[in-house]
Amino acid sequence: MKTVLVASSKGGVGKTKIATHLAAHAALSGQNTVLIDADPQGSSTRWAERRSPMESAVLAIDGSRRQKSAWNSVPADTDRVVVDGAAGAMGAELALWLEQADAVVVPVLPSTLDIDATVPFLNSLVEHPRVRSGALPVGLVGNRLRPWTNASRRAMEAIGQWPYPLVAELRDSQAYVVLVGLGKSLFDYQSRKAREHQDDWKPLLRWLPR
C-alpha cells in the first residue's frame, strides 16, 4: 500500500483537485483506492460519493476529526491511499499523515502571496524527522498556471530555486471545477483536449512511489 498526502497551509490552492485526480487515476488503473478527507469542508468526500456508482469508485473516509481512527479504518486490501489534508494545517497538525505517507504533494499557485504563504508551510514540514532526513519526499506542483503569461513563468522560476523538486505544472482550466462536481477526473476521458491536460500530470505520476 502506498500513501500520498496532498497538503498546504493555504486554502484554495487546489488540494482537492489534485487529491481527487490522483485517486481517480489509481482507481482507473485497477488499484483499490481510498481517499481520506481530512479537510472539514468535505469536498473530497462529496466527490467520492458522486463517483460511487462507477466501476472505478473510490472509498472515502472522514479524517477531519479522528485521524488515527480514520487511518485504522483503511481496508487491508487497499493499494493506494490519498490524503486530502486540511486547509490551514501546518506540519505539526499533519504529523500522523507524515508518519504514514510515502510522498507529500504541495500545490502552489503562481502568485506572490501564495508563494510567500508556502514558505513557512514547507519550513514546518522539515521539522518532521522523516522530511528532514529525506526519507519522506516532498514535491511541489504548480497549479492553475497560464504558461503564456509572465506571472506564471516567473513564479515557476522562483519555485524552481526551492530545495524541493517541482514535479508538475498544471495549466488552468475550468474543466477541473466541472469534473470535481461530477465525481470525475480528466483521466475518465480520452478526447484530444483531455489527453493534452493529462500530459501535464505525467511528471507527477512518474515521481510518485508505485
Each domain of the chain, given as residue ranges in start order, spans: 2-207
Query: Do you know the residue count of the chain?
Result: 210
Element (H, E) at 182: helix 175-182
By 3-state DSSP, what share of the chain in percent is helix, strand and coil, each rounded to 5?
Answer: 45, 20, 35
Answer for the pair 14, 143: CB distance below 8 angstroms, yes or no: yes
Ranking 43-47, 51-55, 111-115 by mean pLDDT, the lowest is: 111-115
Beta bridge partners of 62: 37
* Overall fold of domain 2-207: Rossmann fold (3.40.50)
Instruction: Say which residue the cell 485504522 belongs to.
Output: 72
Answer for the pair 8, 15: CB distance below 8 angstroms, yes or no: yes
Phi, psi values for residue 195, rounded to 5°: -65, -35
Q: Note the pTM of the prediction, 2 decimals.
A: 0.95
- Interval 123-132: pLDDT, tens: 999 999 999 9
**What is the per-residue pLDDT for 31?**
98
Residue of higher predicted confidence among 11 and 42:
42
**What is the per-residue pLDDT for 134?**
94
- Interval 63-120: pLDDT, tens: 998 888 999 999 999 999 999 999 889 999 999 999 999 999 999 999 888 888 899 9
Q: Band of the pLDDT at 11, cuts 50, 70, 90?
A: confident
Element (H, E) at 206: helix 192-207
